[in-house]
Structure 1
Amino acid sequence: MFKVSNETKVGVLAAVSIAMLILGFNLLKGKSLFSKSKKIYAVYTQVNGLQPSNTVQVNGLVVGSVSNLEIMDKNAGRILVELRINKKVDIPQNSVARIASDLLGTKTVQIDFGNANAYLEDGDTIYAAVDGSITDALKEQLSPLAKKLEVTLGSVDSVLLTINSIFDPGTKGNLREAIAHLNTTMGNFTRTSASLNSMLDPQHGNVKATFDNLESLTANLKNNNERINAILGNAEKTTAALANGQLDKTLLEMQQMVARLNETIAKLNSTDGSIGMMLNDKKVYNNLQNSLNSLNKLLEDLRVNPKRYVHFSLFGKKAKVQPIPSDTAKAL
């Protein structure tokens, strides 16, 4: 049996390890040793952190990878990127290789197909473009906001300066006094609200008593509804009677009565009639007064000396005449 020496085994293992190492390194760089591919190139002024082995995609499909990046001048103003296309795709000559990045910052080369009928061959150069990064987009969005914020802060600064100039010590004192009055007003308002709460107390408040009285009043009105209807009926009959013409007749009779009363008063004030002469002539009044006095004396004498006017005696003795009390009183 053929015997392999240890040295041979070590050599073979070393060769296999070296081959595997080269194969893995190329795979990590996006190169394939067993598949047929073509190379195309793109020139960028900046690559935004693009690295070898980053994928090359067409409509989201991975068709290759970035195999190498080289600086074309000492200032690194132009960078040559080698793209290895592994898939059998036809890329129009007016297509664009655009460097893009996702939210995690992973760089990719997106190929946007053009509409040309001629296609890129191995070793051709494709148009290059670079998308702005998320930081650039945020800067573009935040730049107007920063300017507006700067203007706003300037306005706030001006307002604060104006307020400081307005609020001198006297104004601050007036403001403190106004706040003190406001506190007093709020205290009064609190007491007023407490009074309102006590008035609105559903058990013992004045509002409850008022509603109770109102309820009693409405109950009384309900109980006396028939009487109220009768009163309203009578009032309706009265107004109907007045509307039928009796009011005008009554007013006419009252006017006639007033006219007669005025005529009677006029006659009393004049000296044409007997009553007018009695009221207005002083002599008539004096004569009447004298007659009344004489009549009073006659009645008094009749009461004191009745036998003077009615004489009746069984023995014929004449009664003694008594003086009238009024005459006695005048003599005294």
Structure 2
Amino acid sequence: MLKLSNETKVGILTVVGITLLVLGFNLLKGKSLFKRTKTIYAVYTQVNGLQPSNAVQVNGLVVGNVANLDVMDKNAGRILVTLTITKKIEIPRNSVARISSDLLGSKTVQLDLGNSGEYLQSGDTVYAAVDGSMTDALKEQLNPLVKKLQGTLMNIDSVLLNVNGLLDSTAKGHLHQAIGNLEVVTRNFTHTSASLNTLLDHNGAVAGTMNNLQDVTANLKNSNEKISAILDNAEKATGSLANGSIDTTLAALQATAASLNATIAKLNTTDGTAGMLLNDKQVYNNLQYSLSNLNKLLEDLRINPKRYVHFSLFGKKDKIRPIPSDSVKAQ
């Protein structure tokens, strides 16, 4: 069996370690040693914090990564960015590599594919563009507002200077007096609001009124069925009156009233028997006299019945007795 010296073992371990270190470093940088990749370049004047291993995307899909960033002149006016494409995609020659950032500030290179029929090969250069950062966008939006605000503040300053010049000592005194009156009004308003709070309190008058109103509405709600029944009965009654022969009945009542008026008119005159009985005094006297004679006849019949009915087995006649009075009046 072949024996290895310690120096050989150390050498082999060193080579394996260096190999693993290179592989690990490349993997951390996003490079793959076992995949076929395509390398393209882009030249920028600024990269907005782009770093190696940042993603390269096409329509949101990660197709590669940033391999390296190199300075092309002493002033760093031109920066060469190396892009490694790991996906098998064709990139048109008129495509644009655009540096963009999300809300968290992460930088990516977005490949906006063009419509050319020619495609980039490994080692070719793609057009470069840089999106403005969110800070730049905010600055662009805020700059007009800042300018307007500055102009407004200058106008306010001018107005205050003019007002200060117009207000002499007398006007300032009046202004202080007006402010004092405003303080009194504010105090009165505070008292008024306190009074309103007292009225609107749980035990206040308004609360009691609302409670009473609630009780009334509750009673109305509880009596809703009764009210509905009353309204139904009223509707039925009015319907019956509307559907019935009310016009004919009213006409008959009017005719009866007319006949009654005519009868009463005749009774008030001496035309006819009833009228003469009611209005002729002589008829009343004769009737009274007849009644008096009839009373006498009935009294005589009671006292002397045998004068009018004679019945005797022996033929003896009773004496005729006079009636107690000839002036008996009708009772």
TM range (shorter): 0.5 to 0.7
2:123 counterpart of 1:123: yes
Shift of 1:92: 0.9
Aligned to 1:214: none
Distance in 1 (CA, whole Å) between partners of 2:122 and 2:187 is 91
- CA offset digits 1:6-28 (Å, max 9, x no partner): 33332222111111111122223
Shift of 1:102: 1.4
Distance 1:186 1:2, change over 3 A: closer
Distance in 1 (CA, whole Å) between partners of 2:17 and 2:192 is 97
Aligned to 2:150: 150
Amino acid at match of 2:37: S
Distance 1:37 1:155, change over 3 A: same
3-state DSSP class of the match of 1:171? helix
Structure 2 residue runs without a partner (length 5+): 209-331
List aligned pairs for 1:1-12, cutoff 5 A: 1-12=1-12
Distance in 2 (CA, whole Å) between partners of 1:141 and 1:123 is 40
List aligned pairs for 1:137-216, cutoff 5 A: 137-181=137-181
Distance in 2 (CA, whole Å) between partners of 1:118 and 1:190 is 82
Amino acid at match of 2:14: A
2:72 counterpart of 1:53: no
- CA offset digits 1:268-298 (Å, max 9, x no partner): xxxxxxxxxxxxxxxxxxxxxxxxxxxxxxx
- CA offset digits 1:79-106 (Å, max 9, x no partner): 2211111110011111110011112222
Structure 1 residue runs without a partner (length 5+): 204-332
Distance in 2 (CA, whole Å) between partners of 1:189 and 1:51 is 66
Aligned to 1:307: none
Shift of 1:153: 0.8
Shift of 1:2: 4.1
- Higher mean alpha-carbon deviation, 164-173 vs 112-121, is at 164-173
3-state DSSP class of the match of 2:125? coil
List aligned pairs for 1:276-315, cutoff 5 A: none
Distance in 2 (CA, whole Å) between partners of 1:180 and 1:68 is 74
List aligned pairs for 1:19-34, cutoff 5 A: 19-34=19-34
Distance in 2 (CA, whole Å) between partners of 1:187 and 1:74 is 74
Distance 1:59 1:156, change over 3 A: same
- Indicate the percent of aligned positions where both proteins have the same amino acid: 66
- TM-score, normalised by the number of residues in structure 2: 0.54
Larger C-alpha radius of gyration, 1 or 2?
Answer: 1
Aligned to 1:15: 15
3-state DSSP class of the match of 2:56? strand
Aligned to 1:206: none
Distance 1:10 1:160, change over 3 A: same
Shift of 1:169: 1.7
- CA offset digits 1:117-153 (Å, max 9, x no partner): 2211111111111100111111101111110110111
Distance 1:152 1:18, change over 3 A: same
Distance 1:38 1:160, change over 3 A: same
Distance 1:183 1:36, change over 3 A: closer
Distance 1:104 1:185, change over 3 A: closer
3-state DSSP class of the match of 2:89? coil
3-state DSSP class of the match of 2:81? strand
Distance in 1 (CA, whole Å) between partners of 2:190 and 2:7 is 106
Distance in 1 (CA, whole Å) between partners of 2:183 and 2:55 is 73
Shift of 1:191: 9.2
List aligned pairs for 1:215-254, cutoff 5 A: none
3-state DSSP class of the match of 2:114? coil
- CA offset digits 1:209-251 (Å, max 9, x no partner): xxxxxxxxxxxxxxxxxxxxxxxxxxxxxxxxxxxxxxxxxxx
Distance 1:95 1:171, change over 3 A: same
Aligned to 2:71: 71
Aligned to 2:102: 102
Distance in 2 (CA, whole Å) between partners of 1:135 and 1:189 is 49
3-state DSSP class of the match of 2:121? coil
- CA offset digits 1:58-98 (Å, max 9, x no partner): 11111111112222223322222111111100111111100
Distance in 1 (CA, whole Å) between partners of 2:191 and 2:89 is 88
Distance in 2 (CA, whole Å) between partners of 1:84 and 1:142 is 38
- TM-score, normalised by the number of residues in structure 1: 0.54
Distance in 1 (CA, whole Å) between partners of 2:90 and 2:98 is 17
Q: CA RMSD in A?
A: 2.9
Distance in 1 (CA, whole Å) between partners of 2:108 and 2:177 is 70
- Higher mean alpha-carbon deviation, 159-168 vs 47-56, is at 159-168
Distance in 2 (CA, whole Å) between partners of 1:37 and 1:191 is 83
